[in-house]
Chain A
Amino acid sequence: MPSTPEKVHVALVYQSLLGIYGDRGNATVVTKRLQWRGFEPVLTVVEPGDPLPQDAHIYLIGGGEDAAQISAARLLRADGALQRAAERGAAVFGVCAGYQILGRSFTVGEHDQVTEGLGLLDVTTTRGPQRAVGELLGTWSGADGEARHITGFENHGGWTTRGPDAEPFCTVEVGIGNGDGTDGAVNGTVIGLYPHGPLLARNPALADHVISLGLGGRELPPLDHPEIAELRRQRLAAVRPGR
């Protein structure tokens, strides 16, 4: 008798506001990698106006245009579910504008409007000296402590300053990220990074790390996809000519 598959609840936050760069791809990757391992993923796509689920294991937040980002930050602060999720140790993973929203505040738009974030990461974002657009290559120490590349595409006008309580997520070899040679920030089970969209598709170890955080640090059996390894090889070669 097969046992009932374990349900894992994944919430994709405000797809219509924060989904401009294919950010739903991160939800596709997380749910498929759960399914391929025998879990039963339950995906909730939360739209503005609807409350966030209180019981999700993993919350995913994407990127959006300035007005959408400001609107989303206000709604999320009022909702409160992400703050509670972080307190109870659920995984909260934001990219691009989603990363900025997880911080203390961000400055966007024509009038440099300062908007308060959720304060889950000790970072502050202000307008950078140039827009960061292009491939990003970084290195993080994976869940097992082994150095791994992060490959993605970033497109953001804000640069991010880390406060004393924010660990950078990775160092940056190509691209801008936070603007100081690092990208992203991590605090417990909350992670933010600049490369947007299907970042987790290009970085399966990071995808599994986020899943594992959502499951209380559980170890997951490996999944091997040669195409993903080939994609990573190609993107690395594209940003490191001659190496």
Chain B
Amino acid sequence: MAPMTTQTLQRPAAPAAPRSPVRRLRSRLARLAGGAAAAASRLSGRGSGASIRGQVMLRLDPDALATLLQGRRIVAVSGTNGKTTTTHLLAAAVRQGLGDQAHRLVTNADGANLHHGIASALSRSPRADVAVLETDERVVADVVRLGRPEVLVLLNFSRDQLDRHHEIKALGRSWRNALEAAGEDGPVVVANAEEPLIVWAAQTARRVVWVDTASTWQQDASLCPQCGAGLARTQPDPETGEGGDWSCTGCELAEPRADLRVRDGEIVDADGRRWRPDLQVPGAFNVGNAAHALAAARLLGVGTEDALAGMHTVTAPAGRFATARFGDTTARLLLAKNPAGWAEALPLATTSTVVLAIDSAAADGRDVSWLWDVEYEQLAGRNVVCTGPRAVDLAVRLRYAEVEHQVEPDLARALAGHPEPVDVIATYTPFQRLRRMGGV
């Protein structure tokens, strides 16, 4: 029998420390001003207003995030790829576990995961005492310090937006230092055992639940984050289903023994119990995300059956995998932001015509060199449409991959007039535009 949802989940958060009347007033005014800014943003059609709400609040009350994090049981979800989907899976699991107390849950479902996005979501649910928070890699250390989360989920660590984050190791170090400083008050970490940088960063945590997602992406880890020596790997064995593992050739850092493993679409625990998550989001990597969400939900006290039932309800987290209409065209939207994300998304795009949308705005990363680390060669024989402001960069990449293609920089025109359904893979900025255009 899988464990049932327990009293642990019903436990309310410790109340926030009392604050002075002046500070309470300042928080309240900041919240009101943020709300007004968000309403103005929505009315002018510029977006949900989540980001501007948080920005205004934090401008007026710099301690707003710390204040808003108080008095809640927090799970933070971070990593390079899969943050939004995992946050949705985990929130759905917790919601299912809470049952008729689901109003106790707050989550930043819109993917706004920087300081102001998190503050915005929390400010709208002042009484919700369980928070599932998607957290940008740069914000993890602050959330650990200010919010003392119960659980921290670290999914994976890959290069992304190198024009801003020059070295991913510096981010890993910020996590490691924050966990060390938190000591016994720190979170239980649910972490990917396959990623050397994550294993190194999580070493300072008081307790870690290790997950092996059977990922094949290894291109971002070749040197030991602890000592700089080379890493030795054993490859996965498709015969036995055993996953590969890694160890450092210069020190003792090695892949830890997993508490939960993903094998052939199933989640297997250390006792050999197996669950097949009946997910509505596609792809093997989402089974890996579900394994992380399941581990985190169980730590909060959600029963396994409740967690799986909740995760089954997730279909299109913040537009990912959503199907939308663009005139007469039916299109499914996939997001890919970096080589690791593209390696996951490309096999999911199965339509005969595939639309690829590339931009280099700040949120996409201004440098599109990563196009050359994606194996677009696998699209040979398909009808590929290149779109977005950097469509021609992609076209040159496809020319060298010998993949036939057309170029239509305008998103609306690129999507027009396809009689058969099409899969669209987009970087962040065009993905958000497509969500607005398609109403998803």
Known contacts A48-B222, A68-B222; is A155 also within 8 Å of B162 by CB?
yes
A157 within 8 A of B: yes
B373 within 8 A of A: yes
Chain B residues, Cβ within 8 Å of A227: 392, 395-396, 399, 407
Of the listed stretches A115-123, A169-177, A196-204, chain B binds: A196-204
A78 within 8 A of B: no
Q: Give Cα distance in the complex from A66 to B228, angstroms.
A: 10
Q: In which size bucket is the chain B interface?
A: 20 to 34
Known contacts A133-B163, A197-B372, A227-B395; is A29 also within 8 Å of B400 by CB?
yes
A16 within 8 A of B: yes
Contact of A230 among B168, B223, B369, B392 (CB under 8 A): B392
A219 within 8 A of B: no
Chain A residues, Cβ within 8 Å of B145: none
A20 within 8 A of B: yes
Q: Give Cα distance in the complex from A121 to B383, angstroms.
A: 46
B230 within 8 A of A: yes
Contact of B367 among A68, A197, A230 (CB under 8 A): A197
A24 within 8 A of B: yes
B396-407 interface bits toward A, Cβ cutoff 8 Å, 1 = contact, 0 = none: 110111100001
Q: Give Cα distance in the complex from A48 to B222, angstroms.
A: 9
Known contacts A155-B367, A227-B392, A231-B396; is A24 also within 8 Å of B223 by CB?
no
Contact check, B230 vs A21: say whether CB atoms are below 8 A apart: no
B362-402 interface bits toward A, Cβ cutoff 8 Å, 1 = contact, 0 = none: 00001111111100000000000000000011011101111
Instruction: Give, as a whole number of angstroms, the nearest-CB distance from B128 to chain A.
Output: 40
Instruction: Give, as a whole number of angstroms, the nearest-CB distance from A123 to chain B.
Output: 21
B312 within 8 A of A: no
B159 within 8 A of A: yes
Instruction: Give, as a whole number of angstroms, the nearest-CB distance from A65 to chain B.
Output: 5
Contact check, A225 vs B372: say whether CB atoms are below 8 A apart: no
Instruction: Give, as a whole number of angstroms, the nearest-CB distance from B385 to chain A.
Output: 14
Chain A residues, Cβ within 8 Å of B228: 67, 70-71
The secondary structure that dominates the A interface is mixed
Instruction: Give, as a whole number of angstroms, the nearest-CB distance from B42 to chain A.
Output: 33
Contact check, B163 vs A155: say whether CB atoms are below 8 A apart: yes
A53 within 8 A of B: no
Q: Give Cα distance in the complex from A234 to B393, angstroms.
A: 9
B227-268 interface bits toward A, Cβ cutoff 8 Å, 1 = contact, 0 = none: 010100000000000000000000000000000000000000
Contact check, B166 vs A155: say whether CB atoms are below 8 A apart: yes
Contact check, B392 vs A231: say whether CB atoms are below 8 A apart: yes
Chain B residues, Cβ within 8 Å of A29: 400
Contact check, A198 vs B367: say whether CB atoms are below 8 A apart: no
A132-158 interface bits toward B, Cβ cutoff 8 Å, 1 = contact, 0 = none: 011000000000000000000101010
Question: Who on chain B is nearest to A225 by CB?
Answer: B399
Contact of A22 among B169, B222, B370, B396 (CB under 8 A): B370
Most chain A CB inside 10 Å of its own CB: which residue of B162, B169, B366: B162
Contact check, A22 vs B373: say whether CB atoms are below 8 A apart: yes
Known contacts A25-B372, A28-B400, A197-B372; is A153 also within 8 Å of B407 by CB?
no
Instruction: Give, as a whole number of angstroms, the nearest-CB distance from B172 to chain A.
Output: 12
Chain A residues, Cβ within 8 Å of B367: 21, 153, 155, 197
Q: Give Cα distance in the complex from A155 to B367, angstroms.
A: 9
Chain B residues, Cβ within 8 Å of A17: 222-223
A7 within 8 A of B: no
Known contacts A21-B162, A22-B370, A227-B392; is A201 also within 8 Å of B167 by CB?
no
**What are 17 of the A-B contact pairs (CB < 8 Å)?**
A28-B400, A29-B400, A65-B167, A65-B168, A67-B223, A68-B222, A131-B166, A153-B369, A155-B162, A155-B166, A196-B369, A197-B367, A197-B369, A198-B372, A201-B397, A201-B400, A231-B392
